[in-house]
Amino acid sequence: MDLYPLKFKPILKERLWGGTKLKDVLNKPIESDITGESWELSGVQGDISEVCNGDLAGTSLNQLITKHGEKLLGKSVVARFGNEFPILIKFIDAKQDLSIQLHPNDDLAKERHNSFGKTEMWYIMNADPGAKLIVGFNRNVEKAEYIQSLEEGTLLDLMNYEEVSEGDTFFINTGKIHAIGAGVMLAEIQQTSDITYRVYDFDRKDKNGNLRELHTGLAVDAIDYEQKDDFKVDYPHKKDAVNTMVDCPYFKTNFLDLNSSMHQDLSTRDSFTIYMCVGGEATIDNDWGNVSIKKGETILVPACSSTVNINTHGAKLLEVTI
């Protein structure tokens, strides 16, 4: 089977803090007023993505990997991750503040949960005036001081707040305490992991009147208590060029702000390529087919593709590889 560019059915997640922007702005097929996440490409057990275009429609990502392996993922990717898809791609809409949380590193996640850790990045697609993120502490904090702040309800006094606007990009290391603030819609690229340690949730209750579970005990030894100015990504914005945003051991992300079509030689890229459309629209083709993509959509170009053509009169794309 020829491996054309693949589009997947979004996996929609209701969240206590979710809203309607994924429907109103990105045209996701949503009826709920509290949809917080659209998982665009997922290998997380229980939430495996399914192809929705072309002859392979209805095929799961796991089935594709089992059948096509290195042709789909790339030889080096299979050598590192076997048959597991290594990254998770989402769009997130926060109508309310998310809980303050963090994610364990690979070693701790493997030991405790038999999972990958969760390094992630955010690209801000839409932000209400004054919308903010919480990213890290506002000064170096001792573990005992952090624990005391939880007991006294003063954790927010230790947090670092960052006002955001469209195009701002953040890299969130494992161990960094963080939260997406109300009024922010973003694209998220992360390691394949759903391990989150929630440490404060504003005392909110779910639809059944229950407080959500906190993971304060697990989090204590996973937190980086040092204040670090290492999260805001300063990246070039050249038009009709490949602009590197993030290059880390888990994924590489480039920003493509295109006014015209672009041809890319992928013959030396030993990895699949993901395109997340964060503005405009385009048609993307490889050796075996093409697919249209518009704002709020994501496609996977298999690793066996020697070239890709991005045909557009205006599109903003996040290009993700391993």
Do 71 and 114 fall into the same domain? yes
Q: With respect to residue 235, please indicate whether it lies within any of the assigned structural domains.
A: no
CA-based nearest residue to 19, from 222, 182, 140, 195: 182
Q: With respect to residue 227, please indicate whether it lies within any of the assigned structural domains.
A: no
20 vs 95, 104, 132, 282, CA distance in Å? Answer: 8, 30, 19, 25
Do 140 and 276 fall into the same domain? no
Dig out the tokens for 140 from the structure. 């170096």
pTM of the shown model: 0.96
Do 76 and 144 fall into the same domain? yes
The CATH number linked to 68 is: 2.60.120.10
pLDDT of residue 89: 98
Do 77 and 200 fall into the same domain? yes
Q: With respect to residue 130, please indicate whether it lies within any of the assigned structural domains.
A: yes
Residues 74 and 176 sit within 8 Å (Cβ to Cβ): no
Task: List the Cα angle 169/172/174 in 5-degree steps.
Answer: 170
Q: With respect to residue 144, please indicate whether it lies within any of the assigned structural domains.
A: yes
Residue with tokens 């790339």: 74
- Spatial neighbors of 317 by CB under 8 A, at least 6 apart, are 255, 256, 258, 275, 276, 277, 278, 282, 293, 310
Number of domains, the chain: 2
pLDDT of residue 194: 84
Q: Which of 220, 254, 275 is the last residue of a domain?
A: 220
The H-or-E segment that residue 70 falls in is helix 70-73
Residues 186 and 122 sit within 8 Å (Cβ to Cβ): yes
Do 113 and 37 fall into the same domain? yes
Do 17 and 71 fall into the same domain? yes
Do 110 and 143 fall into the same domain? yes
Do 171 and 27 fall into the same domain? yes
121 vs 200, 244, 263, CA distance in Å? Answer: 21, 13, 26
Q: With respect to residue 237, please indicate whether it lies within any of the assigned structural domains.
A: no
Tens place of pLDDT per residue across the chain (322 aa):
589 999 999 999 999 999 999 999 999 999 999 999 999 999 999 999 999 999 999 999 999 999 999 999 999 999 999 999 999 999 999 999 999 999 999 999 999 998 889 999 999 999 999 999 999 999 999 999 999 999 999 999 999 999 999 999 999 999 999 999 999 999 999 999 889 999 999 988 887 888 889 999 999 999 999 999 999 999 999 999 999 999 999 999 999 999 999 999 999 999 999 999 999 999 999 999 999 999 999 999 999 999 999 999 999 999 999 9
Cα dihedral angle (305, 313, 8, 178), rounded to 10 degrees? 100
Task: List the Cα angle 173/177/183 in 5-degree steps.
Answer: 100
Domain that holds residue 314: 243-321
Residues 276 and 315 sit within 8 Å (Cβ to Cβ): no
Do 216 and 247 fall into the same domain? no
CA-to-CA distance for 256 and 188, rounded, in angstroms? 16
Chain centre to alpha carbon of residue 271:
18
Residues 180 and 94 sit within 8 Å (Cβ to Cβ): yes
Residues 105 and 175 sit within 8 Å (Cβ to Cβ): yes
Which residues are catalytically annotated?
Answer: 198
CA-to-CA distance for 22 and 39, rounded, in angstroms? 11
Do 54 and 160 fall into the same domain? yes
pLDDT of residue 53: 97
Do 203 and 111 fall into the same domain? yes
Residue 63 dihedral angles phi and psi, to the nearest 5°:
-65, -40
CA-to-CA distance for 29 and 44, rounded, in angstroms? 21
Q: With respect to residue 234, please indicate whether it lies within any of the assigned structural domains.
A: no
Q: Which of 220, 255, 283 is the last residue of a domain?
A: 220
Q: With respect to residue 317, please indicate whether it lies within any of the assigned structural domains.
A: yes
Residues 176 and 159 sit within 8 Å (Cβ to Cβ): no
Q: Which of 187, 205, 220 is the last residue of a domain?
A: 220
CA-based nearest residue to 202, from 16, 37, 34, 14: 16
Dig out the tokens for 214 from the structure. 């906190």
Q: With respect to residue 121, please indicate whether it lies within any of the assigned structural domains.
A: yes
- Spatial neighbors of 271 by CB under 8 A, at least 6 apart, are 73, 74, 76, 77, 303, 321, 322
CA-to-CA distance for 240 and 255, rounded, in angstroms? 10
Do 147 and 207 fall into the same domain? yes
- Spatial neighbors of 252 by CB under 8 A, at least 6 apart, are 244, 246, 320, 321, 322
